Amino acid sequence: MAGVTTSAAANSAELRGPAIRQLLAAIAELRWRLFVNSMRTIRGRLEAVSRLFAVFTMSMLAFGGAAGLAILAYMAVERGRFVYLTLLFWSVFVFWQLYPVLGSAFAAPFEFSNILRFPVSFSSFYALNVAFGLFDPVAAVCLFWLVGIFVGIGIARASLLPWAFVILLLFGVMNVLLSRAVYVWLERWLAKRRTREVLGVAFLFLMISAQLIGPAITRERKHDSPMLKHAAIVARVADFFPPGLAKQALVDVRDGSAGYALLSIASLGVYTLGVAALLGTRLHAQFTGENISETLAPLAVAQTEPVREGWNMPLLPAPVAAIFEKEIRYLLRSAPMIFTFIMPLFILVLFRFTPQRGAGGSSFLVKAPDWAFPIGAAYAMLILTNIVYNSFGADGCGLQVYLTAPVKFRDVFLAKNLAHTNVLGVAILSVLVATFALYRPPSLAITFATFTGLLFAWPVNLAAGNLMSIYSPKKFDFGGFNRQRASGATALVSMGVELVVIGIALGVLFFARYLHRVWLAGLIFLPLAAIAFVAYWIILNLAARRALEKREVLMAEICRT
């Protein structure tokens, strides 16, 4: 019987699967081997450099922010202004939850659904998901910030340290769980086209609204608006949310009300348990095999409408015209294109109606309206380069059509470049119209220099984008949350190209401005544009050849599921 019991226990252990520490060790070793193997390619080395740059940036943000928050927390506690702790806690909370949604990710997200291919229990799956949230760059930065607040409170009043440790620990756990819950639920909603469109509009609205907070506060202060009197009501309501509860618990400890402090901590614990349950609900659906897809079962439907003909573009070859039409139709349906059209106009409106402190109370563009058109045009071009540097990212398995159809890959690149150029042209014209309406018509010299500068900068970006679309492709899923449109290597190269192009353009403009001959900048840009067009044409043919040579890499990266 002892032998049978031992055998049964061994079989039971096998059914339960490996321990979580073994899973963590296996995942860590796998990630390390992937990193080592990636260093064998140029793209892998560029990715490593971009990650080092991201780590350096986030480290400066973490340590610098922690030092600043420590000083602010010390001043708030030392002077008895605990209300300022609310601002510190809300700053950490908002950055922790909103930046991953509205900002760009520093690293490609890990697909946790792949872990379900291995024998893991639900508790292990849940723990791995939460553990991964601890190593997210934004979470790491915010945890450093909480440490800074803890140090500042401890230096100001050592008696608060035990309570501050418990409060900040619980506040950090709640934020980690909430960030993971937001992540998995947004991925669930973005898997459907209808909710994806609604959330896309909501995100765009949030990004635009965030830019209006500062100008609105400045305007209200300038006019002594009665709306500021309602700030106290908003502050009272905010005390019922986790950042306010964390502050209120510290206030109760300072006042000697340990019972009320425990009540605030318990309320924060209720928030934490609720968020944990919300995250568990979504992860349990994934664990039990939920597969969200927009694809409907094929139905036998009689065709009642005739097939519509393509656009009539006699100046373009038929393959180029067909791909051009496809690109335009797809681009007009994407949120990045809406962002491309709206944001340059919004920036011009923001600078036009934002009052500034100091003499005159006007923004830079109001005082120098001639520069409104160049700045808006440059901003529109910079936004569009996010798509140009990963031209095949949204094609998915449709890339196979380009490789098997009787069409030259050079024509594919040319059609995509023409589509992006047309979108940029419409964006530039809208910026020009907005400049006329909001400021004043730019001078002929400024307009001439702007258009010739674009003739130089745009072919350079197209050429670099074509090469990076081949050498560093990355599949872009519109249904995924927090996904970069391009790889880290592409982002690094594009940043270098933009720095060079902008540096040359600014040098030419400042030189012409120094000579008080702005029109001279346009004349200098003309030969630079001619050189850029020749380089673009050469690289266009080179990229077409390289695409066929690297078609296996393209297919593996773009068509993978």
Calpha distance 547→469 (Å, rounded): 9
Q: What are phi and psi of 302, to 5 degrees?
A: -70, 135
Confidence band of 6 (pLDDT split at 50, 70, 90): very low
pLDDT of residue 379: 87
Q: What is the mean pLDDT of the chain?
A: 78
What pLDDT digit, counting tens, does each position of 428-444 carry? 999 999 888 888 888 89
User: To which residue do tokens 């009540």 refer?
Assistant: 263
The token pair that represents 301 in the structure block: 């439907």
Average pLDDT, integer, range 183-206: 70
Question: What value does the mean pLDDT take over residues 268-277?
Answer: 93
Give me the pLDDT at residue 166, please.
92
- Both structure tokens of 325: 């039409």
294: Cβ contacts below 8 Å, ≥ 6 apart: 191, 192, 193, 479
- Where are the domains positioned within the chain? 53-287, 318-558
Q: Which amino acid, one-letter code, is at 494?
A: S
Q: What percent of the chain has pLDDT over 70?
A: 73
Q: Contact at 8 Å (CB) between 463 and 540?
A: yes
Q: Of 50-59, 281-290, 518-527, where does mean pLDDT reach its minimum?
A: 50-59
pLDDT, tens digit (0-9, with 9 covering 90-100), for 526-547? 999 999 999 999 999 998 888 8
pLDDT at 149 over 80: yes
Q: How confident is the model at residue 113 (pLDDT cuts 50, 70, 90)?
A: low
pLDDT in tens, 309-355: 677 787 888 888 888 888 888 877 766 667 667 778 877 877 777 65
Between CA 182 and CA 175 the distance in angstroms is: 10
Instruction: Assess whether pLDDT exceeds 60 at residue 484.
Output: no
Query: Distance from CA of residue 151 to its chain's centroid?
Result: 31
What pLDDT is recorded for position 3? 45
pLDDT, tens only, 17-38: 566 677 667 767 776 777 777 6
491 phi/psi in degrees, rounded to 5: -60, -40
Look up tokens 């440790």; give the residue. Answer: 165
